[in-house]
A and B are shown apart, each in its own frame.
Chain A
Amino acid sequence: MTTIRDIVLVHGAFVDGSGWRGVHEELTWHGLRVHVVQNRALSLEGDAAAARRVLDGLDGPAVLVGHSYGGVVVSMIGAHPNVASLVYVAAFAPDRGESVGSLIATLPPVLPPVDGMLLLDREKFAGWFAADLPDRLAAFMADSQVPWGVDALRGPVAEPAWRHRPSWYLLATQDRMIPPPTQRMMAERAGSTVVEVIGSHAVHISQPAAVADLIRQAAL
């Protein structure tokens, strides 16, 4: 068995790849090479292409990790030959034909689209997305949101990678963006090894050690 040395991190909606900083620190300390994909978040195809380019450039097997909407990207391209296993972090794991839009019944407090782009209500961002982060950090995140394309939200997955790769799922128990029962349903049908963490949707920022720990187990 080839040793896994590469980790590819795909961030979710409304945020950028800098949220992976704590996880990156933990993983690199353990000698892993970490690649943080930056999504443009205009369309699912565009984001999938960005992540695929990273995978194409690797010389060995990697763990592909997605947070939130990043899980859709992971499900779309995770059967790539350079991917050994998948990790979903409070993420969507759509089945055939499903999209983010079809997976959540009640949408979080998203403002009406402007030019096909979505943002969360700044006032509600902290409570919904980042309840366990320090107030000032949550406020900064609310003010520095990355607009999310409606097309990305609607993009369906044809053949989910979790049908072809072993997967791990980190379930955030206090998540309001993707309700825990929805996370559990997706994890169970994917046959993932599930680990629960007491945390908000921003669990990759509030509990980086737990997230990194799970990724390292997926890399064993």
Chain B
Amino acid sequence: MLRRHRRAARLTLEQLAEASGVSARTLSDMERGRSKGPQHRTVTALADALRLAGAEREQLIELAREGRLRDHWARPTGLCELPRPVDDFTGRSAELAWAAEVMRAGEAGPGLITGSAGLGKSTLAIRAAHTLRPDFPDGVFFLDLFGMSAEPLPSDEALGMLLRALGLTDQQLPGGVGERASLYRSLLRERRVLVVLDNAASEEQVRPLLPGGGTARALVTGRRLLAGLEGVRRLSLGPLPPMEATQLLTGILKDRGTPDADPALWDLAQLCGGLPLALRIAGNRLASRPGWNAADFAARLTDEERRLDQLSAGDLKIATAFGLSYDQLAEDTRRVFRRLSLVPGRDFDAALSSVAGGTSIAGAWDALDELVDLGLLQDGASGRYRFHDLVLLFARERLRAEEPAADRDAVVDAVTSWLLRMATSAGSWFEPIHSHRDPELTGLSTQEEADRWLRANVDNWLGALRQAADRGGHAAVLLLGMSMIRFADRWMHAGHWPDVFTLGAKAAAALGDLPRQAAHLNALAADQLVSGGDMEAALRYTAQAMDLAVRGGSSEEIASAHHFAAGALRRLGRLDEAIEAQSRAAEIFKADGDVEAYSHCLGSLGTCYRDAGQYPQALEHYLALWDLVNDDASGLLPNAAAFTRSIALARIGECLGLLGRRSEAIARLTEAIVLLEEAQVLAVMAGALQTLASLLAEEGRAGESRQTYARAAEVFEAIGDSDASDRCRDLAS
């Protein structure tokens, strides 16, 4: 397409390069399709040079945007993936050598790169990590800890992300920080992995994320010294020296035909205080408007600095550099920029930007493109954008200065209500009846998309939820809470569920909605059970839920309260009470025709009887469950049936073994293991393999037993249970 336009304009590559300021090599790459997602700035320069207007211009810009997005999506889906290094990284050779020395040193202590904002700590760490890749063949991971945001990433969530990046699934993640940290350490002990922990908030946040002894290393960045951490090598980063700062500017302007030896660049570098962030924004500003030269720009910065000289040295340089970029934006883009500072979460996409900015999606795209080109926003993976901390402060300051409080409140209201509606609608995808799916909201057309939206935007919708709760928006809070009850099963161990359901319960109470208040209390109990939390607390929740459900006349919530109470009682070893409660739950669910819940109760009853040593009753309940999941007319969803079938069969095999019916047990377990592997229920599969191996040994089938122990060891290792894995490996040899 580009080539066609170029030929139509009768330009050679060189002529187009000259006219657009884009290098001939970049053009050639684009024409040959080697660079599919050129930056917006490049594309608009080309469109100008080709004198394209109207639909043709739109089409070229649209094509490039799709290319960029495809580039994002086509990247490996790897969690905690190391970002690409900046192309024009300049200087810092001593600092890179320092990082390499610390990361390669014999001692396992982490390295910390510290210093104030805008010095390029993250850029340096990312660059160093790329250079060190060959030393860490088992992987290089990157995690932003959001240390300077109002809500830094909690350690347990950070561990969850790292563990998933190391190959675990949600179901395999243990609940607490302690368990996660020890699993993380055991997985890293023998791997040559480098973990880059960017923007750390505190010792408490970082400590669980550091690999213990062994071959893995951590490189941390942050504003603070983290003096409480032991065995750390710390490097305090300074500004770029004048020569390197000038080189960085020269590099950014290279494609623009600015003479390399422009003495004004030296002045400009000095005015930016050698701060890479300020240098980049000033450089992008110059590059995007070829009409300005460095001398004009330096003169304006000097004036601006005089005007603002009550600010601190470093912040001042930065604010003036931002201000000059900001001032030249179109008012629409400026409005989007400053209003994005009201987004509650850490990052945002074009859809949320359009809501905040009060513009169309296409308008939001244009604004985001331009802001990224100028370095005022950073674009991350999958079409998401974020502010640098200092730029965020600047955007907030502009918003306060330029928009009256009433307008700001209106933006907050619009953003909050849109986020609540989106989250509620997304959550509804996981309910049996999708009652609150909002037809006006576009974007979510499958369960997977809803899942992805909820995870990617979690801090946005949580922020909106808290805001709505503070402002007494009970109805919206309650709807959102209800829509999350099912989704919470799918996203276990997320630390925010207690908050979500507590707010939901309060909203229900405020509205006098007893059944839904009970539903939220039941959800709180379920969260304690799933996370292996406080069982006494779970019982307090179910007691409250029971009381409310009885008063509100909701048999569904009465049954749920029995069901979750039974779960807590079983964990507390109060098996008779557990069996009693679970039986009542089963009766009610069965009578109400809630087959799925009834099937859970049957499984739980089997487990209670097994724990109590009453194997015949246990077997009886597992067999009842087996019949239910094999009944096509039961009404169970096929996915749920397949999942439950594999587990039921494994439990039947285990019970038969416990009853001494060894050969039947072996047959059932062998069959179950195939199903468990298909359904990827690895935790149950590991246990089933171990049981099968011991039964085979009792049968005198020593060779098969050893092979099965070896498989069990592998599966235990895959789920991070190294103790059980070691035990099985010993038995296999």
Q: Given the complex, which residues of A lie within 8 Å of B225, measured CB to CB? A: 193, 195, 214, 217
Q: Given the complex, which residues of A lie within 8 Å of B227, measured CB to CB? A: 168, 193, 217
Question: Separation in Å of the A206 CB from the closest CB of chain B?
Answer: 8
Among B231-239, B508-516, B675-683, the one that faces the other chain is: B231-239
Q: Given the complex, which residues of B lie within 8 Å of A214, measured CB to CB? A: 225, 236
Q: Given the complex, which residues of B lie within 8 Å of A132, measured CB to CB? A: 241
Judge whether B330 is part of the interface by a CB distance below 8 angstroms: no
Q: Mark B105-124, 1 if CB is under 8 A from A, else 0.
A: 00000000011100000000
Bound CA span A170–B236, Å: 9
Bound CA span A213–B238, Å: 11
Tell me if B94 and A198 are in contact (CB < 8 A). yes
Bound CA span A56–B94, Å: 42
Q: Given the complex, which residues of A lie within 8 Å of B237, measured CB to CB? A: 210
A189-219: which residues lie under 8 A (CB-CB) from chain B? 193-199, 206-207, 209-210, 213-214, 217
Q: Given the complex, which residues of A lie within 8 Å of B239, measured CB to CB? A: 209
Q: Given the complex, which residues of B lie within 8 Å of A26, measured CB to CB? A: 313
Instruction: Count residues of chain B with CB under 8 A from any CB of chain A.
Output: 20
Question: Separation in Å of the A4 CB from the closest CB of chain B?
Answer: 15
Question: Separation in Å of the B124 CB from the closest CB of chain A?
Answer: 11
Judge whether B157 is part of the interface by a CB distance below 8 angstroms: no
Residue of A with least CB distance to B236: A210
Question: Separation in Å of the B6 CB from the closest CB of chain A?
Answer: 47
Tell me if B94 and A213 are in contact (CB < 8 A). no
Judge whether A174 is part of the interface by a CB distance below 8 angstroms: yes
Bound CA span A195–B113, Å: 9
Tell me if B238 and A210 are in contact (CB < 8 A). yes
Judge whether A173 is part of the interface by a CB distance below 8 angstroms: yes
Judge whether B687 is part of the interface by a CB distance below 8 angstroms: no
Judge whether B733 is part of the interface by a CB distance below 8 angstroms: no
* 5 A-B residue pairs with CB within 8 Å: A195-B234, A196-B235, A213-B114, A213-B115, A213-B236
B88-102: which residues lie under 8 A (CB-CB) from chain A? 94-95, 98
Q: Given the complex, which residues of A lie within 8 Å of B312, measured CB to CB? A: 29
Bound CA span A170–B314, Å: 21
Q: Pick the most buried of A173, A193, A198, A206: most chain B CB atoms within 10 A of its CB.
A: A198
Tell me if B98 and A198 are in contact (CB < 8 A). yes
Q: Given the complex, which residues of A lie within 8 Å of B95, measured CB to CB? A: 198
Q: How many residue pairs at the A-B interface have CB separations less than 8 Å?
A: 55
Judge whether A123 is part of the interface by a CB distance below 8 angstroms: no
Bound CA span A168–B228, Å: 12
Judge whether B224 is part of the interface by a CB distance below 8 angstroms: yes
State which of A168, A198, A209 has its C-beta within 8 Å of the C-beta of B235: A198
State which of B94, B116, B235, B314 has its C-beta within 8 Å of the C-beta of A195: B235
Q: Mark A147-178, 1 if CB is under 8 A from B, else 0.
A: 00000000000000000000010100110000
Q: Given the complex, which residues of A lie within 8 Å of B234, measured CB to CB? A: 193-196
Q: Mark B462-488, 1 if CB is under 8 A from A, else 0.
A: 000000000000000000000000000
Residue of A with least CB distance to B95: A198
Which 6 pairs across A and B sit closest by C-beta, in order of nearness? Answer: A210-B236, A193-B227, A198-B94, A195-B234, A207-B238, A197-B236
Q: Given the complex, which residues of A lie within 8 Å of B94, measured CB to CB? A: 173-174, 198
Judge whether A25 is part of the interface by a CB distance below 8 angstroms: yes
Question: Separation in Å of the B720 CB from the closest CB of chain A?
Answer: 34
Q: Given the complex, which residues of A lie within 8 Å of B116, measured CB to CB? A: 209, 213
Q: Given the complex, which residues of B lie within 8 Å of A173, measured CB to CB? A: 94, 98
Residue of A with least CB distance to B233: A196
Q: Given the complex, which residues of A lie within 8 Å of B313, measured CB to CB? A: 25-26, 29
Bound CA span A217–B115, Å: 12
Q: Mark A30-66, 1 if CB is under 8 A from B, else 0.
A: 0000000000000000000000000000000000000
Q: A173-B94, A174-B94, A213-B115 are in contact. Are A195 and B236 (CB under 8 A)?
A: yes
State which of A174, A193, A209 has its C-beta within 8 Å of the C-beta of B238: A209
Bound CA span A23–B643, Å: 65
Q: A174-B94, A217-B227 are in contact. Are A195 and B114 (CB under 8 A)?
A: yes
Q: Given the complex, which residues of B lie within 8 Å of A29, measured CB to CB? A: 312-313
Question: Separation in Å of the B348 CB from the closest CB of chain A?
Answer: 32
Known: A198-B98, A217-B225. 19 other contacts (CB 8 A): A132-B241, A170-B236, A173-B94, A173-B98, A195-B114, A195-B235, A196-B236, A197-B236, A197-B238, A198-B235, A199-B238, A206-B238, A207-B236, A209-B238, A210-B236, A210-B237, A213-B116, A214-B225, A217-B224
Tell me if A210 and B115 are in contact (CB < 8 A). yes
Residue of B with least CB distance to A192: B227
Residue of B with least CB distance to A132: B241
Bound CA span A168–B539, Å: 50
State which of B224, B233, B235, B241 has its C-beta within 8 Å of the C-beta of A197: B235
Q: Given the complex, which residues of A lie within 8 Å of B241, measured CB to CB? A: 132
